[in-house]
């Protein structure tokens, strides 16, 4: 009987000790989580890198916990996942917290990384480590970084393309690309602009200008006559530089061009006259006047009728469409004048200049203005 009582007393004492240990252990874990917290303020990472080159990363963190971050306590920055460390290599363990960071203070963490041999779009991410090697705080994630080979890199400067056009209609696409790599582009070496995943348009590549040699840091302008599909709908328009069969550099901004029906309104607008200089200096702004006569049986109203380009060449002149004046109504037999400014292209050459009326429900109609070839010097 005495032995049984002693055993039961021992079990009670043991369970009490075990309960205390669990309680204090849980409190220790909870306290550690409370002590260590970090709020991400900013990330500074190059979005374009050359394979094998070193780059500096800057992360700004606010100490939102109760512990002091310091090198003595072994606080560190680390890759957010083992996969990233495998692709980008180990981080050099430096004195990122050589100056202690007290609660409420902000730390600027700087370290170097080397771009991997693999090229393409990649993900980056880091997170803080506590003295026990546990992650804490908000991760610093960069969803997309482009790594290019040392020889070929390209950056898109601008793209001019309509966002709406009639079926079968032609327009001039203008795309400028800068060579930020280390080689010179030319036709003989297989450099050209190529369409990305689209068979809708009548061309799949735009070649470099004849005899062009685009050296590093130079910019090239691609121009091409493009015909819209015969079926209505939205069609992707996007391009990228390519050498032979290998794409490289920036994609142009993706535009989903809306292609609609064109219902011509037979000869219900008559071109009267236009005032435009036939010689301009590159990049200069010039005033233009174009007048039409309403020879239809219905009135033209602001919001329904506007001035556009029959071949979309107006994109060359930094103007896509010209609206009528607010609440303006042009009755049959009356005249409609458009007064607006255009900007000459930035490169010398001969450029087409022609305009035509367009209706929101019927597309282009009537006589276009006289087609001019403006000499830009």
Please identify which residue in the block is written with the tokens 């190529």.
Answer: 194
Domain count across the chain: 3
Residue 284 lies in a domain: yes
Helices (H) and strands (E) in the chain, counts: 2, 29
Mean pLDDT (whole number) for 303-324: 81
Of 227, 260, 293, which closes a domain? 260
- Which pLDDT score is estimated for 242? 92
Is there a single domain that holds both residue 292 and residue 248? no
Point out the least confidently predicted range of 64-68, 105-109, 261-265, 295-299. Answer: 261-265
Return the percentage of the chain with pLDDT > 70, whole number. 86
On whether residue 71 sits in a domain, the answer given is yes
Tokens in use for 41?
């303020």
Q: What is the pLDDT of residue 202?
A: 86
User: Residue 163: pLDDT band by 50, 70, 90 thresholds?
Assistant: confident
Is pLDDT at 259 greater than 90 in this prediction?
A: no
pLDDT band with cut points at 50, 70 and 90 for residue 209: confident
Residues 319/345, Cβ–Cβ less than 8 Å? no
Verify that 253 and 295 share a domain, yes or no. no
Residue 261's pLDDT is what?
A: 64
| Most confident residue range from 41-45, 161-165, 253-257 | 41-45
**Mean pLDDT within 60-85:** 91
Q: Per residue in 11-37, pLDDT tens?
A: 444 444 444 444 444 444 445 455 899
Report in angstroms the alpha-carbon separations of 58 from 43, 71, 77, 126, 209.
6, 18, 11, 11, 41
Q: How confident is the model at residue 68 (pLDDT cuts 50, 70, 90)?
A: very high
**Where is the domain boundary, 214, 233, 260?**
260
> What is the model's pLDDT at position 303?
86
Q: What is the model's pLDDT at position 9? A: 47
Look at residue 332 and tell me if it is in a domain: yes
CA 296 to chain centre: 45
Mean per-residue pLDDT, 222-236: 87
Instruction: State the average pLDDT over residues 131-154.
Output: 86
Q: Which CATH number is 107's domain given? A: 2.60.40.10
Domain of 110 in residue numbering reads as 39-148
Q: Which of 196, 225, 260 is the last residue of a domain?
A: 260
Are 47 and 113 found together in one domain? yes
Q: Is residue 251 predicted with pLDDT exceeding 60?
A: yes
CA distance 112 to 57: 6
Task: Kindly give, in sequence order, each residue whose CB lies less than 8 Å from that of residue 28, ignoring residues fewer than 6 positions away.
Answer: none
241 within domain boundaries: yes
Q: Assess whether 233 and 175 both reside in one domain.
A: yes
Distances (CA, A) of 264 to 75, 227, 354, 370: 72, 18, 18, 19
Res 51: pLDDT: 82
Residues 120 and 171 in one domain: no
Question: Mind listing the pLDDT tens digit for each residue in 345-370?
Answer: 888 888 888 999 988 766 788 889 99
**pLDDT value at 2 more than 50:** no
pLDDT value at residue 126: 94
Residue 21: inside a domain, yes or no?
A: no
Choice between 162 and 305, residue whose per-residue pLDDT is larger: 305
Q: Rounded distance, CA 102 to CA 64, Å?
A: 9
- Categorize the per-residue pLDDT at 77 as very low, low, confident or very high, splitting at 50, 70 and 90: very high
pLDDT at 24: 41
The DSSP output letter for 209 is: P
Residue 120 lies in a domain: yes
**Rounded-to-integer distance, Cα 175 and Cα 173, Å:** 7
User: At residue 158, does pLDDT exceed 50?
Assistant: yes
- Asked if residue 4 is part of any domain, the answer here is no
Of the candidates 256, 239, 253, the residue with the CA atom closest to the CA atom of residue 163: 256
What's the confidence (pLDDT) of residue 127?
94
> Are 326 and 244 part of one and the same domain?
no
Q: What φ, ψ does residue 277 adopt, rounded to 5°?
A: -70, 135
Q: Which has the minimum average pLDDT: 24-28, 224-228, 276-280?
A: 24-28
Average pLDDT over residues 325-350: 91
Q: b/e map of 67-76 (b: 16 or more CB within 10 Å)? A: bbbbeeeebb
Residue of 47, 50, 56 lying closest to 181 (CA atoms): 50
- The answer to whether 313 and 349 have CB atoms below 8 angstroms apart is no
Residues 6+ apart with CB under 8 A from 132: 32
Question: Does residue 33 form part of some domain?
Answer: no
**Mean pLDDT of the residues in the chain:** 83
The Cα–Cα gap between 48 and 123 comes to 12
Query: Do 194 and 240 lie in a common domain?
Result: yes
Gap between the Cα atoms of 288 and 275, Å rounded: 6
Mean pLDDT for 239-251 is 89
Q: What is the pLDDT of residue 18?
A: 43
Same domain? 167 vs 255:
yes
């Amino acid at each position: 009987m005495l032995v049984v009582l002693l055993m039961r007393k021992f079990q009670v004492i043991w369970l009490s000790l075990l309960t205390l240990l669990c309680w204090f252990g849980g409190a220790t874990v909870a306290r550690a989580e409370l002590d260590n917290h970090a709020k991400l303020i900013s990330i500074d990472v190059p979005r374009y890198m050359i394979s094998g080159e070193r780059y500096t990363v800057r992360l700004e963190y606010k100490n939102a916990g109760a512990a002091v971050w310091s090198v003595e306590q072994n606080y560190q920055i680390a890759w957010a996942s083992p996969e990233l460390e495998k692709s980008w290599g180990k981080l050099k363990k430096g004195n990122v917290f050589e100056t202690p960071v007290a609660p409420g203070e902000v730390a600027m963490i700087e370290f170097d990384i080397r771009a991997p041999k693999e090229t393409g779009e990649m993900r980056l991410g880091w997170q803080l480590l506590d003295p026990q090697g546990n992650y804490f705080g908000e991760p610093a994630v960069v969803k997309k970084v482009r790594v290019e080979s040392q020889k070929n890199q390209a950056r898109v400067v601008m793209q001019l393309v309509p966002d709406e056009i009639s079926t079968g209609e032609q327009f001039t696409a203008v795309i400028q690309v800068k060579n930020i790599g280390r080689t010179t582009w030319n036709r003989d070496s297989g450099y050209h602009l190529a369409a990305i995943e689209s068979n809708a348009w009548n061309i799949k590549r735009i070649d470099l200008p004849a005899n062009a040699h685009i050296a590093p840091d130079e910019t090239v302008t691609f121009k091409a006559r493009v015909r819209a599909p015969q079926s209505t709908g939205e069609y992707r328009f996007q391009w990228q530089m390519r050498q032979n069969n290998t794409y490289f550099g920036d994609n142009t901004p993706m535009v989903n061009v809306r292609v609609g029906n064109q219902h011509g309104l037979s000869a219900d607008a008559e071109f009267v006259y236009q005032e435009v200089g036939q010689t301009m200096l590159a990049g200069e702004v010039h005033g233009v006047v174009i007048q039409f006569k309403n020879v239809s049986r219905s009135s033209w109203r602001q919001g329904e009728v506007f001035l556009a380009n029959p071949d979309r060449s107006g994109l060359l002149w930094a103007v896509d469409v010209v609206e009528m004046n607010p609440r303006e109504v042009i009755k049959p037999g009356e005249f409609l004048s458009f007064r607006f400014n255009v900007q000459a292209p930035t490169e010398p050459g001969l450029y087409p200049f022609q305009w035509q009326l367009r209706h929101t429900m019927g597309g282009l109609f009537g006589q276009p203005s006289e087609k001019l070839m403006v000499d830009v010097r």
